[in-house]
Chains A and B, each alone.
Chain A
Amino acid sequence: SQQGEEDPQALSIQEGENATMNCSYKTSINNLQWYRQNSGRGLVHLILIRSNEREKHSGRLRVTLDTSKKSSSLLITASRAADTASYFCATVLNYGGSQGNLIFGKGTKLSVKP
């Protein structure tokens, strides 16, 4: 039951540029989380934004949440080659059989060229 869908599927930018990834979802959520995965490795948690929050920052990361549009965006400012990875949004539902479980999108593959 795929809930989140990231856009774009792939993004290629130059070092120093900003990278924006979007996530859309279908049903009411408790929170939305962003994770990073370096090739073939485990996922690393980046940010959690709750349904009553609109924006959160962590270092060079900025996440927004628009519950009326059921969408979120992840902005990475001043990107570095080390930011090259896949980025996943994951939603946590408030109800139903999957209540409280993470439901992942398919990810955005970011490539930052030196």
Chain B
Amino acid sequence: EAQVTQNPRYLITVTGKKLTVTCSQNMNHEYMSWYRQDPGLGLRQIYYSMNVEVTDKGDVPEGYKVSRKEKRNFPLILESPSPNQTSLYFCASSATSRGYNEQFFGPGTRLTVL
């Protein structure tokens, strides 16, 4: 089944403790992206990747890192999480570089930073 998976789905952590949210797609998509969703603010893009070893900042990249060493994986790294990073995070992928086609979304990761 074609899908985007994220792990973990739920995470409660404390300020400053490094964490990684994994994202994997099995559709051989070139484009992958991370979003965060906050009440009243909608979805905002954090980082995106047009292909292996090609990543770029979205609208709200501060406090986040990403890497794209393999085509299928695009982990989101929070080196030193803070409470303002409490949010619902989504990974997405698309067949072509950039978003000129539909994007497929993962189920989301609900992160709480205490």
| Closest residue on chain B to residue A1 by CB atoms | B59
Q: How far is the CB of B62 from chain A (nearest CB, A)?
A: 15
B61 in the interface (beta carbon within 8 A): no
Residue B99 is within 8 A (CB to CB) of chain A in the complex: yes
Hey, which chain B residues are within 8 Å of A43, CB to CB? 43, 90, 92, 103, 105
In the complex, how many residues of chain B place their beta carbon closer than 8 angstroms to a beta carbon of chain A?
Answer: 28
Contact B99 A105 (CB under 8 A): no
Question: A99 at interface (Cβ–Cβ under 8 A)?
Answer: yes
- A90 vs B59: C-alpha distance in the bound complex, in angstroms? 14
Are B105 and A44 in touch, CB under 8 angstroms?
yes
Closest to A99 in B: B98
Interface contact B88-A101, CB-CB below 8 Å: no
B55 at the interface (CB under 8 A from A): no
Closest B residue to A92 using CB positions: B99
**Is A2 interfacial (CB-CB < 8 Å)?**
yes
| Cβ contact of A30, chosen from B33, B45, B100, B103, cutoff 8 A | B100
CB contact list, A2-21 vs B, under 8 A:
2
Residues of B with C-beta under 8 A to A98: 59
Asked whether A60 is an interface residue with its Cβ less than 8 Å from the other chain, the reply is: no
Q: B97, A100: Cβ atoms under 8 Å?
A: yes
Q: Does A88 contact B (CB under 8 A)?
A: yes
Shortest CB-to-CB span from A67 to chain B, Å, is 17
Chain A residues, Cβ within 8 Å of B75: none
Contact flag A45-B102 (CB < 8 Å), given A88-B43, A101-B33, A101-B58: yes
How far, in whole Å, are A61 and B69 apart by their CA atoms in the complex?
39
Whole-angstrom CA separation of A44 from B99 in the bound complex: 15
A41 to B43, alpha carbons, bound, how many Å?
13
A48 contacts B101, CB within 8 Å?
yes
Q: List 25 A-B contacts (CB under 8 A).
A: A1-B59, A2-B42, A31-B100, A33-B102, A35-B105, A40-B108, A42-B4, A42-B90, A42-B105, A42-B106, A42-B108, A43-B92, A43-B103, A43-B105, A44-B105, A45-B104, A48-B101, A92-B99, A99-B98, A101-B33, A101-B98, A101-B99, A102-B99, A103-B45, A105-B42
